[in-house]
Amino acid sequence: MTSTAAPPGAPPTGREPDRPPRRRRRFSARDRHDFWVFLALVLPNVALIIAFAYRPVLTNIQYSLLNWTLGSQTATFVGLDNYVRFLTSPSSVTILWTTLVFTVVTVGGSMVLGLLIALALNRRVPGTGVARAAVFSPYVLSGVGVGLVWLFVFDPTIGVLGSVLRAFGGTAPDFFNDPTLSLVMICVVYVWKNMGYAAVIYLAGLQSIPRDLLEASALDGASPRRTFVKVVLPLLSPTTFFLLVTSVLNSLQAFDLIRIMTPLGRGTTTLIYEAYLQAFGGYNRGGYSAAVSTILFALLVVFTMVQLRWMEKRVHYA
Amino acid sequence: MRALTPRKLADAALSAYVPLLLAVIVVVFPLLWMVFSSFKPLPEIITRTPELFPADPTWTNYATATDRLPFAQVFVNSVLVTTIGSAIKVALAILTAYGLVFVRFPFKNVIFAGLLVTLMVPPQVSLLPNYTLITAFGGADTYWGIILPGLGTAFGTFLMRQHFRTLPPSLLEAAELDGAGHWRRLTRVVLPVSGPTVATVALVTIVNEWNDYLWPLVIVSRPDMMTLPVGLTLLANVDNRAAAYGQLMAGSVAVIVPVLIVFIALQRHIIAGLTQGAVKD
In a 13 Å sphere around the CA of A120, the CA atoms on its Cβ side amount to: 26
Q: What is the pLDDT of residues A128-174, one digit of tens each?
A: 889 999 999 999 999 999 999 999 999 998 899 988 998 898 888 99
**Mean residue pLDDT across chain B:** 88
Residue A18 has pLDDT above 60, yes or no: no
Contact check, Cβ <8 Å, B115/A46 = yes
Outline where chain B has alpha helix (H). Answer: 6-12, 18-37, 42-45, 60-68, 71-102, 108-117, 123-136, 143-147, 155-164, 169-177, 182-184, 195-211, 214-219, 228-236, 241-275
Q: Give the closest of B103, B122, B237 to A296, CB-based.
A: B122
Split at pLDDT 50, 70, 90, the class of A15 is very low
Q: What is the pLDDT of residues A163-221, one digit of tens each?
A: 899 889 888 899 999 999 999 999 999 999 999 999 999 999 999 888 888 888 888 88
Question: What is the C-alpha end-to-end distance of chain B, expressed in Å?
Answer: 27
How far is the alpha carbon of B174 from chain A, nearest alpha carbon, in Å? 16
Among B20, B34, B49, B164, most A C-beta atoms within 10 A, so best to mutate, is B20
B229 touches chain A (CB under 8 A): yes
Spatial CA neighbour of B51 closest among B65, B39, B63, B68? B39
Name the residue in chain A with its Cα closest to that of B93: A45
In a 13 Å sphere around the CA of B99, the CA atoms on its Cβ side amount to: 28
List chain B residues with CB under 8 Å of A113. Answer: 23
Contact check, Cβ <8 Å, B109/A197 = no
**Mean residue pLDDT across chain A:** 85
Average pLDDT over residues A263-269: 93
Please tell me the predicted confidence (pLDDT) of residue A305: 81
User: A132 phi and psi, to 5 degrees?
Assistant: -60, -45
Average pLDDT over residues A104-128: 92
Residue A23 has pLDDT above 60, yes or no: no
CB A150 within 8 A of CB B30: yes
- Rounded Cα distance, B59 and B83, in Å: 28
Average the pLDDT over each of A148-157, B94-103, B110-119, B223-232 and give the range with the smallest value. B110-119
Residue type, position A7, single letter: P
Q: What ipTM describes this predicted complex?
A: 0.91
Q: What is the DSSP string of chain A?
A: --S--SPTTS--TTTGGGS-HHHHHT-THHHHHHHHHHHHHHHHHHHHHIIIIIHHHHHHHHHHTEEEBTT-S-EEE-TTHHHHHHHHSHHHHHHHHHHHHHHHHHHHHHHHHHHHHHHHHTT--TTHHHHHHHHHGGGGS-HHHHHHHHHHHH-TTT-HHHHHHHHTT-----TTT-HHHHHHHHHHHHHHHHHHHHHHHHHHHHHTS-HHHHHHHHHTT--HHHHIIIIIHHHTHHHHHHHHHHHHHHHHT--HHHHHH-TT-TTT--HHHHHHHHHHSS--BHHHHHHHHHHHHHHHHHHHHHHHHHHHHH----
Contact check, Cβ <8 Å, B114/A46 = yes
Contact check, Cβ <8 Å, A158/B242 = yes
A291 touches chain B (CB under 8 A): no
Q: How many CB pairs under 8 A join A and B?
A: 301
Split at pLDDT 50, 70, 90, the class of A76 is confident
List chain A residues with CB under 8 Å of B281. Answer: 238
Please tell me the predicted confidence (pLDDT) of residue A73: 84
Q: Give the closest of B37, B211, B271 to A142, CB-based.
A: B211
List chain B residues with CB under 8 Å of A145. Answer: 34, 229, 232, 251-252, 255-256
Three-state SS annotation for B81-138? HHHHHHHHHHHHHHHHHHHHHHCCCCCHHHHHHHHHHHHHCCHHHHHHHHHHHHHHCC
Split at pLDDT 50, 70, 90, the class of A12 is very low
The interface residues of chain B toward chain A in range 152-171, judged by CB-CB distance below 8 A, are 152-154, 157
Residue A17 has pLDDT above 50, yes or no: no
List chain A residues with CB under 8 Å of B259. Answer: 140-142
Contact check, Cβ <8 Å, A42/B217 = no
Residue type, position B248, single letter: L
Among B121, B125, B210, B211, most A C-beta atoms within 10 A, so best to mutate, is B125
Split at pLDDT 50, 70, 90, the class of B3 is low
Please tell me the predicted confidence (pLDDT) of residue B280: 38
Q: What is the pLDDT of residues B15-59, one digit of tens each?
A: 788 889 999 999 999 999 999 999 999 889 888 888 889 988 999
- Rounded Cα distance, A50 and A288, in Å: 24
Average pLDDT over residues B95-100: 94
Q: Give the closest of B15, B47, B93 to A123, CB-based.
A: B15
List chain B residues with CB under 8 Å of A44. Answer: 92, 95
Please tell me the predicted confidence (pLDDT) of residue A8: 40
B14 touches chain A (CB under 8 A): no
Average pLDDT over residues B219-233: 95
Residue B183 has pLDDT above 60, yes or no: yes
Average pLDDT over residues A25-40: 77
Name the residue in chain A with its Cα closest to that of B156: A45
Please tell me the predicted confidence (pLDDT) of residue B4: 60
List chain A residues with CB under 8 Å of B207. Answer: 140
The interface residues of chain A toward chain B in range 230-259, judged by CB-CB distance below 8 A, are 238-239, 242-243, 246, 249, 252-253, 255-256, 259
Contact check, Cβ <8 Å, A145/B114 = no
CB B252 within 8 A of CB B70: no
- Rounded Cα distance, B155 and B213, in Å: 18
- Rounded Cα distance, A192 and B23, in Å: 10
Q: Structure pTM?
A: 0.89
Q: Of residues A25 and A257, which shows the higher confidence score?
A: A257
How far is the alpha carbon of A90 from chain B, nearest alpha carbon, in Å? 23
Please tell me the predicted confidence (pLDDT) of residue A318: 38
